[in-house]
Chain A
Amino acid sequence: MVSVNNLSVSYNNFKVLKNISFEVKKGDFLHIVGPNGGGKTTLVKAILKSAEKKSLSISIKSNKISYLSQFNNISKLVPITVLEVLKSVCTNMNDIDLWLKKFDMLSYKFSSFRELSGGEKQRIFIIRSLLLNPEIFILDEPTSSLDPSFRERFLKLLFDLNKNKKMTILNITHDLTDIVKENSRIIYLDREIYFNGSYNEFKKFEHRGHKHG
């Protein structure tokens, strides 16, 4: 679905990413971990950008990509209802209601978005990204503002979508409790790829002294 081939990114002569290569296959559940400043978000941005503009080092075999970021640069000024937020990407009202219900947010449908709490806003953004029906779902530390019980539900849902709908998931995290053990692959990124393998192999790799951020 996604193949990254010898990708390097620099800002002002500083190499943020160095010769990154990896493959993501359909139905993969890939976690990208690594310290702050290790280039995780830069990698995601490069992948998203290549979805718009052809890139030499990244190719994507789907145009149904969805993206959920850790904190959205949203305008706090705009008066907008929850429904308006969701309708800006999807016209199917049944789908909207279904997802709102699933996330216990149906009663907020006509509420003002700016009056929601941080966690509630994040739930609406999760719904928005799922309404796009993605084949590839890219998440950039989305669980940071969710309360623990909801976070667990969300991770379960991701696992479910991955298993039953073969949704390809790329999850960026520096919190390893996010990692769903079965079936998941891990890439450890600190400007270069230091590890690319299964969760069990990663545990051994960690024992050898690599710390994650």
Chain B
Amino acid sequence: MVDFLNYSFLQEALLVALILSIVGSLLSPFLVLSNQGLLPHSLSHVSFTGYALGLLFFDEPLIIAIPFVISSSLIINYIKTKTNIPADSSIGIITSISIALGLIIIKSSTSFNVSIESLLVGNIFTLRPGDILLSIIILILLIIFILKFYKPLLLLTFDPDFSTFFNKKIFLLKSLLSILTSIFIVIGVRSIGILLISSLILFPSSISIQISKSFKKTIFYGIIVSALCSTLGIIISHPLNFPASSTIVVIYTLFFMLSKILSKVISKNA
């Protein structure tokens, strides 16, 4: 442990994992509990194309990747509400198109020198200088968003029909949520990877609803569990030479099983 704190790259990895997992846990209830769990999954695949495009033109691919993923998320929103394609299929379609386009771009470009694997699984131990700052910025933006729109967001998650009637700015709210999710995904993909970044959104609420009775506690437990899982993930993965993101996901799974058992115990004693 003393060793651990001596390496600045480990400290940075821990800090970024912690921040990203908290951001994921804050987004989690509003996406997972309103059956939008596939959205982050598809956005992470969209970010593959975003990164491929970005790397073609700039040293810093985020310049293209962030606006690209944001616009795609808004298009997904549009397809979901305005066309008759079922939501899960439209998300599946967008996911495949993105991977297809990304691969074509990478194959046809001669100057592409980033390994596809590093995008797929990410690498939290080789962070870029801006990564910590970007993670902090998205965390702050998200906290402001939730504090400002907590009640309408709660209503949108719990009772979308009534929410549409009650809140006139519902489209704006949904779009802002999509935009923040997009930014989180693009930033997180670098360290957690395309394949696993969505788990930072999917797990927290799936775990916390097992033991929580209120919405506030669902968010709170989600944050605690995520902070714990990401910290443990970094501490365990490095000495064992495991990929950090995979280790975090495995730990999340263990916590999920634990929460299931706990919920059974709670309901038996109730």
Q: Which residues of B contact A73 (CB under 8 A)?
A: 159-161
Q: Which residues of B contact A80 (CB under 8 A)?
A: 154, 158, 214-215
Chain A proximity mask over B131-173: 1 for CB below 8 Å, otherwise 0: 0000000000000000000010011011111100110100000
Q: Which residues of B contact A67 (CB under 8 A)?
A: 162, 165
Binds B, one of A30-38, A85-93, A180-188: A85-93
Report if B34 contacts A (CB, 8 A).
yes
Report if B26 contacts A (CB, 8 A).
no
Report if B213 contacts A (CB, 8 A).
yes
Tell me the complex Cα distance, A112–B214, Å: 7
Q: When the two chains form their complex, are residues A88 and B213 in contact, meaning their CB atoms are under 8 A apart?
A: no
Tell me the complex Cα distance, A48–B162, Å: 11
A-B contact count (CB 8 A): 63
Chain B proximity mask over A97-139: 1 for CB below 8 Å, otherwise 0: 0000000000000001000000000000000100010000000
Report if B174 contacts A (CB, 8 A).
no
Q: Which residue of B154, B155, B165 has the most chain A CB atoms within 10 A of its CB atom?
A: B165
Interface SS, B side: helix
Q: Which residues of B contact A (CB under 8 A)?
A: 29, 33-35, 151, 154-155, 157-162, 165-166, 168, 208-209, 212-218
Q: Which residues of A contact B (CB under 8 A)?
A: 48, 52, 67, 69, 72-75, 77-81, 84-85, 87-89, 112, 128, 132
Chain A to chain B: the 5 pairs with minimum beta-carbon distance, closest first: A112-B213, A81-B214, A73-B161, A79-B212, A88-B155
User: What are 25 A-B interface contacts by the 8 Å CB criterion?
Assistant: A48-B165, A67-B162, A67-B165, A69-B161, A69-B162, A72-B161, A72-B162, A73-B159, A73-B160, A73-B161, A75-B34, A75-B35, A75-B158, A78-B29, A79-B208, A79-B214, A80-B158, A81-B214, A84-B214, A84-B216, A85-B158, A88-B151, A89-B151, A89-B155, A128-B162
